[in-house]
Structure 1
């Protein structure tokens, strides 16, 4: 219990409460924005914008070729503020160039596809420019974390959410679907401008760093690719339900039954985002890392146990909040709750610890294996068990990829770090 108390106090000392509250607030605002936009734009036109935006959402994690991922990991290992300053300048310059390359490739590729809906290409081209402000926004946030300024990091989330809500309402009201796309584009840009000065980056001090080699670029690229594949793991269930069952109602049912379990995944992310720089800075201290692992796993074992018990007792009541007809999917809901416990206890922690020791490519391989198993398993389980089959596959993979990342971290950490 002392271990857990110390861990929570340390989390709060690093402004973890600010990160937690900002994350919760951002999710509420995002939900509110999605409701309000329906008041200004017809479902048909909004659907076309969202269809195009989904393509961009899969590419956003690799904006700047993932250099924002490299910045947070390698920056945490640097000792002086001048070195961190110089690394930020390097990542900013190279990442902007890389983002423009990706934007160019998306625009060119859009001319070679025949889209099902009218104006999809137009929206895709406009939305492709989100990659640039999104990259700048991410490195600004990363720099705050490197400076141990989690409070400012939390404020970026808060301000971004508020600006998104305001801009979506205003632009959508006056300019409809084009206004909505502009709101998505301008919000990360304006937020970045607001917070950039607070970073106090000195562009006159620019030290040449020997860490910005091929390994540096490789790390960021694979870290971003693993995020893309992880997103795809959650999306593939819905795609396969539609493809195998040919029933759009079941797609909607699974989407809404999974809303609460998947929404809860922000919890481990809050702790990891708060602590990542701290445990990366001390990654060579095996005693500290072991204690951190014990503390984290104890906390999320307790949270998972409470969550599973509550869901088992009140699953029907919880689902009825969404829709009274969903209580027939209580088994599916419980399976998904059990599944996310695997992410809570294992995957959220050890996936990031693998990144912390520079093994982001291992996360990519784990996600790839998970994706292959997902497709194969769902081809058998969905026709047999319907959406419960998709839930079973997801739950198994959440635990499998989590335990696999744990095993691989232990092996790689002992091999590369235990003697340092």
Structure 2
């Protein structure tokens, strides 16, 4: 119990409670913003904007070629404040250039794609510009974490959600779907302008760092690709259900039944976002890392058991809140709940520890294999078991990727310590 108390105490000491509350409120405000857009804009026009936006959302993680990922990992290994600031400036300058190139490629590509819906190309072009302010916003957030200023990091999340709530309401009210697209675009821009001065960065500093080499770029690129594939893993089930069952009702059913389990994945992300810099700074201290792993796994093992017990006892009531007809899919809901405990206990921790030791490409390989298994398995299970088959595949892969991450981390971590010694 002392291990658990210390873990929670350290989390709170690093202002983890601010990160937790900001994340909860951000999700709430985001939901309200989506609901307002649905009420203010016709479904057809809104659907076109959302279709275009979903294309861009998949590309946002590779904005700046993933240099924001490199910033948080390599920045945590630097000792001096001046070095951290110089690394921020390097990422800022190079990342902006890379983001502009990516935007240009998207715009050029849009002219060679035949979109099914009218005005899709227009919104893809407009929304592609989100990539630049989103990248700047992410490196600002990363720099706050490097400064151990998780309180300000939490405020960035909260402020972003408040801006999007009000901008969506005002711009959608006056300019409908075009206003909604503009609201999505200006939100990260306004949030960045509000917080960039709080970093106290000397933009005239030009200290050259030896770490900004090929490995630095490679790490960020693969970390970002891993995030893209992880997002795709959550989307592929819905795409395959629609393709294999040819039943839009089942697509809707699965989308809403999986809504609660997948929404609960924010909890390990909150803890990792709060702790990543700290355990990366101490990555060569085996005793510290082992104690952190024990504490994390104990906390999320207990959390998972409580969550599964509650879900087992009240699954029908939970699904009834969404729609009384969903009670026939209790088994599917429980299978997904069992699946996310694999992310709670293993994947969330060891995936990030792999990134912490500079092996982000391993996460990419694991996600790639998981995606391949997902498609092959669903082609067999969905026609046989319906949406329950999709849930079985997802649950197995959540545990599979987590356990594989565990083995890869310990194998590579031991080699890292031997090399360091």
For normalisation by structure 2, the TM-score amounts to 0.99
Q: Tell me which residue corresponds to 2:417.
A: 417
Please list the CA deviations of residues 332-382 of structure 1 after superposition, one character each: whole Å capped at 9, or x if unmatched: 000000000000000000000000000000000000000000000000000
Unaligned runs of 5+ in 2: none
Structure 1, residues 41-99: CA drift from partner, whole Å, max 9, x if none?
A: 10000000000001000000000000000000000000100000100000000000000
Secondary structure of 2:201's counterpart equals coil
Alignment of 1:122-141 (within 5 A): 122-141=122-141
Aligned to 2:84: 84
Tell me which stretches of 4 or more aligned residues in structure 1 moved more than 3 Å: none
- Aligned equivalents of 2:360, 2:417: Cα separation in 1: 16
Q: Quick check: 1:351–1:402 contact (8 Å CA) kept in 2?
A: yes
**TM superposition shift of 1:206:** 2.0
Matched, 1:143 2:143: yes
1:18-33 correspondence to structure 2 within 5 Å: 18-33=18-33
User: Is 1:120 paired with 2:141?
Assistant: no
1:286-305 pair list within 5 angstroms: 286-305=286-305
- 1:161: which partner in 2? 161
Task: Let me know the Cα RMSD of the aligned residues.
Answer: 0.6
Structure 1 gap segments, 5+ residues each = none
Once residues 231 and 284 of structure 1 are traced to their aligned partners in structure 2, the CA distance between those partners, rounded to angstroms, is 31
Shift of 1:11: 0.3
In 2, the alpha carbon distance for the partners of 1:171 and 1:218 equals 39
**1:203 Cα deviation after fit:** 1.6
1:51 is aligned to: 51
- Cα pair 1:85 1:206 within 8 Å, conserved: no
Instruction: Look up the match of 2:307.
Output: 307
Where does residue 366 of structure 2 map in the other structure?
366
- Residues 2-39 of structure 1: CA deviation (Å, up to 9, x unaligned): 00100000000000000000000000111111111112
Name the structure 1 match of 2:238.
238
| Matches for 1:31-70 after TM superposition, within 5 Å | 31-70=31-70
CA distance in 1, matches of 2:24, 2:110: 36
* 1:207 and 2:207 matched: yes
Structure 1 Cα separation of the partners of residues 203 and 111 of structure 2? 39
Tell me which residue corresponds to 2:333: 333
User: What is the alpha-carbon distance in structure 2 between the residues aligned to residue 413 and residue 351 of structure 1?
Assistant: 13
- In 2, are the aligned partners of 1:340 and 1:398 still within 8 Å (CA)? yes
Count of aligned positions: 420
CA–CA separation in structure 2 for the residues paired with 1:312 and 1:136: 43
The corresponding residue for 1:353 is 353
**SS of residue paired to 1:112:** coil
Tell me the residue number matched to 1:284.
284
1:102-124 CA distance string (max 9 Å, x none) = 00000000000100000000000
Partner of 1:223: 223
C-alpha contact (below 8 Å) 1:83/1:207 kept by paired residues: yes
